[in-house]
Structures are given as structure tokens and as C-alpha cells.
Amino acid sequence: MTVLATTIRRARLMAVPVGLLLLAPVLAAQVLLASPAAAHASLVSTSPDDGEVLAESPAEIALTFTENVRLTDGIELLAGDGSPVEAEVSGADEVVTITPSAPLADGTYVVGWRVISADSHPIAGGFSFSVGAPSATSVDVPTAETPRDVDLLRKSAEALRYGGVLLAAGLVPFALLVAPRTRTSPAAARRLVRTAVVAGVVAVVAALQLVPLTALWQAGSPLSELGTVLADPRTWQDDSFAAAGVIFLALVVAGLAAARSAPALAVAAATVATSSLAIVGHTRTFGPVPVVLTADVAHVAVAATWAGGLAGLVVLFTLGSQVRADVVQQAVRRFSAVALWSVVVLTISGAVLWWRIPATVTDLPDSSYGVHLVVKVTLVAIILVVAAFNLRHLRGRRTVDLSVLRRTVGAELVVIGLVVAVTAGMVTQVPRSSEAAAATAPAAEEPEALELDLGDGTTATLVLTPGRVGTNAAQLTVTGADGAPVSAVEPVQLSVGIEEFELGPFRHELVEVSPGAYEGSIDLPIPGTWRIEVGVRTSTYERPSDSVDVEVAE
């Protein structure tokens, strides 16, 4: 009966930490298991093209990116004098559409855009076009830059989050597995717990600070907009808030499990805490997901073990006579073995991430991310040299000169702090230059050219972009039997319909933008086989036409 009662009591004590541990991965999985993109988003095309002069006002303006993007409030349509033009902005997958509320008058227009890539990074740019004829003068294309104070605060919070998670999570396996005898020394146990708690609090506070700072960074807003951002529900729906929740829950579980003498659960929770660092970042946008995500989680988990172990040794060294020498000796020797295997795992996981994220060695100097990576690798190489010296000092000795290790271990910990700061800067950088991203991204499908025979040797070529459900740009080229462009005496008529659902025909007009070339837009709202008919009036009495069936997919 006593055994049963003890078991029930222990089960009750562990119910809360186990439940929290189960909840933390659920929060992480919502974002970690999202479908990956091919690379950091970049603009593929715009309609109208940059600098294009249109014969009449476009029904809509479209921007197409290499991957799905998220809208911000930083998308605007400006007239040539810089005044805003009322328009509705919408987004679907990788396409952003701007629909003017009224037809645009003749003149130059400027589009400024800022969207969020799948890896949470903001990207921005702009272009201009004209209706009828360009304006005599026009404002410059706007460029949205993150305010320096926001950028500095965000990078600082990122460094504190990284450092806090690595230390708090790394001290758990150090105290429970690497140096378990420290628990028999009250002074050592208290100092290790206090250090872990302080690191955990710093990590959680920094992670929460990152939520509004990330929103400001993504929107390109100044720090004065902090109140507005905090009141916006969208701020708290971001992945950065999920990451903060995972850190908090996982560290709470680790602490409770360690206090209840459940080392396996405590270490598992600490690993979940380190995996929170992968929720927001580059590994979400590179594949294959199982390979890259596993390498990333292993990389940060081992880095935490190393950093936490070094911090634990420093704590023991600073206690002096308050902790027995044999306890410190055991901790030093066992950590040296852990450090050796950490080097192996860090090297392998780092090589995998290098293989999947940066493009080539020659691409590194062309990006801020590449420069950060070179600095990080250099610092890690310095740490390895110091660690090798420590291992050599320990080899074959029954007693260890702790005064020597005290200095070298402290130096390692300082350099690791620099590595954390550099890593915090890396996560805000674009991993690949635009050229490298374009080279490694999957090739976009070319829209199919549809051929129509209008009779008497006159032919037409119709191209629908993107050629799937939704609004499509229609481009028509008409040539005569002699190969010369054919100009219609009135706007070209194009009708679409789908017999299966008894929809249509819906009629559209294409405007001549150059001799024999016509443009417009058509809406294909559902998938299926659509019949498209084109009629070109070449004279008062002649209007040759032809039709073609098009398979439209979602």
C-alpha cells in the first residue's frame, strides 16, 4: 500500500510538467511543420512591368514572388506627385494584387511594397509605370528601411534570447548528468540553480520583447509605434510569440522535473527549449525539412550542452573552497568527454546546414549573412583550439591544475558569448544573395502559348498568366499571312465560358498596346476546361474568330 501511495504521489507531482512538455511541442509543430519554401522570397515579376507605359488604366496591379508572402501595411500606390491613390490590396499565395478604386488618370504612378517572406524576414521594393504618357516629373520609388533603434533593440533581444536559452537549457544536463555530484554540495547546487533560473528569466523576457520588436521590424515602423503594435491582435499571432511560449513552458518543465529527480524528462524539456530557436528562421524555408530541421535542432542542442557546461564549470571554479575539489575534478573530466563529442555533432550538423542554406563559398562575401557566417566559424575555430588545449592538459593526469583551466574555460565562455551575438545577427540576414537564390530556386512554369487560326493565314497567339484559377493577364499577338502585325479596327473581343458548370460566356476587351499586340485581364474562378473564343475585327465587315479549350487548375 505504501509503494502504491508513493507511486500515485509521484505521478501527481509529474502530471503538470509532463503536460506542459506535451503542450510545448504542439506549439512548435504548428510552425515547424509548415510547408517549406524554396528559398528566401524575391520578386519575380510585376504587371505592369517597371517603367511600362499603358494605353489605359489597368484594372489591377500584380506582384508575383518566388514563394508565398504575407501582407503588411507597407503597400501603397502613389501618383506622380507623391499623393496616395486609393486602392484595395489583397494577397493569394505568392501573388499580391493592388486594385485601384477608380480608373487611373494619365500620368506616372509609383508602387511601394513591403511583404513578409516565409522565413519571417521583411522584403521591400518599388517600381513605377505610366498610363497614357509619363508625367513631366515624378517622385522617387519609396524605399522602406527598418529604423536603426528598432534594428538594434531587436538584435540585442535576439542575442539575449539565444544566450539565455543556451545557458538555461545547457545547465540542466550539466547538473544532472555531467556533474551529478554537485547536487551533494549545497553551495554548488544553489549557485547552479540560481544561474539557470536567471538565464531562463532572461530568455523568456527577451523572447517576449521580440514579439513587438519583430512586428515593428517587419512593418518598418519606428519605435514610437510600439503602443499601436502591442494593441494589434496580429502581433500576438506571430511565430515569435509561439517561440516565447515554447521557451517558457519547456524551461518550467525542465525545472520541475529536475527538482523531482527526473533527469530524462528534464533533459527532454531542455531540448524542446533549444528547439524553439528553430521556430523562426532560415531552416523553415530550406529543405528537405526532416534533414534541415534535425540538423538545426541538433546544432543548437549540442551548442547549449557545451555553453551550459562551460558556464557550470565557471560557477564551480568561482566557489573555491565552498565545493570539494573531487567534485570539481569529476565535473571537469566528464565534461571534457562531452565536449569532444559535441565537436563531432556540431561539425556534422553545421556541415548539413552549410550544404542546404548558403549557396557557394564565392557567394559568402556578397551577403551580410555570409560575412556573419565567416566570423562565426572563425570564433568557433578559436574555441576548438582552446578546447584542444584543455583536453591535452587533462590527458593522463590524476589531478588537474584548476587555476589553468579556470582561465581557459572562462576564455571559451567569453568567445561563445561572441558567437551567440553573431548568431543573433545572422538570423536577421538573408542567407543567399538574390542571384544565388534564383539559381537554386525551382524554375517557374512558363505559361502555355495557345494558337488560334483566324483564317486567310491570319493567326493569333494567346498567353494567359499564371494560367490557373483566379485573375489572369491575357496577352494576344495577331499576325497576318505575311507575318506582319495585324491591328484591329476596334478593341479585340475575348469571351470565356465553361460548359460543365454552364458559366459564361463572359466577354472581355483587350486593348492594343502596340501594333498587333493586345493586353487585358480575365477571371477564371473555378478549375476545369474553359473555352476561350477570340474575335478580331479587321475591317467593317470582317471579324474572324476562333476558339480553344484550356485546362485550368487551382
Residue 138 belongs to a domain: no
Residue 141 belongs to a domain: no
Q: Which of 109, 312, 52 is nearest to 191 (CA)?
A: 312
Over range 498-516, report the average pLDDT.
79
- Among the residue ranges 105-114, 158-167, 382-391, 484-493, the one predicted with the least confidence is 382-391
Q: Which of 546, 549, 552 is nearest to 533 (CA)?
A: 546
- C-alpha cell at position 330: 569529476
Angle value at C-alpha 334, between 272 and 377, nearest 5 degrees: 60
**Domains of the chain: total:** 3
Q: Could you tell me the CATH number of the domain that includes residue 119?
A: 2.60.40.1220
Over range 255-274, report the average pLDDT.
88
Report CA 83 to chain centroid distance, whole Å: 33
- C-alpha cell at position 468: 490557373
Range of the domain at 470: 449-552
Report CA 430 to chain centroid distance, whole Å: 9
> From start to end of 449-491, where are the E strands?
449-455, 458-465, 470-479
Residue 183 belongs to a domain: yes
For residue 441, pLDDT beyond 50: no
Same domain, 204 and 127: no
Same domain, 91 and 10: no
Residue 455 belongs to a domain: yes
Q: How confident is the model at residue 445 (pLDDT cuts 50, 70, 90)?
A: low
Amino acid (1-letter code) at residue 345: V
What does the chain come to in residues? 554
Q: Average pLDDT, whole number, for the chain? A: 77
For residue 33, pLDDT beyond 70: no
Same domain, 307 and 375: yes
Give the best-scoring range by mean pLDDT among 41-55, 203-217, 404-418, 492-506. 203-217
Residue 13, pLDDT score: 43
Q: Could you tell me the CATH number of the domain that includes residue 502?
A: 2.60.40.1930
Residue 283, pLDDT score: 54
Residue 517, pLDDT score: 84
For residue 61, pLDDT beyond 60: yes
Which comes out higher in pLDDT, residue 109 or 118?
109
For residue 172, pLDDT beyond 70: yes
Same domain, 172 and 225: yes
Helix (H, G, I), strand (E, B) or coil at 553: strand
The pLDDT tens digits of the residues spanning 63-90 come to 888 777 888 777 889 888 888 899 998 8
Same domain, 420 and 291: yes
Residue 73 near residue 92 (C-beta atoms within 8 A): no
Percent of the chain with pLDDT over 90: 9
Over range 92-99, report the average pLDDT.
86
> What radius of gyration do the chain's Cα atoms show?
31
Residue 32, pLDDT score: 42
Same domain, 222 and 342: yes
Same domain, 48 and 161: no
Residue 29 belongs to what H/E stretch?
A: helix 2-32
Residue 24, pLDDT score: 43
The pLDDT tens digits of the residues spanning 380-397 come to 778 777 777 766 665 655
- Among the residue ranges 73-82, 141-150, 431-440, 463-472, the one predicted with the least confidence is 431-440
Burial of 183 (0-12, 13-18, 19+ CB in 10 A): middle
Residue 528 belongs to what H/E stretch?
A: strand 528-535
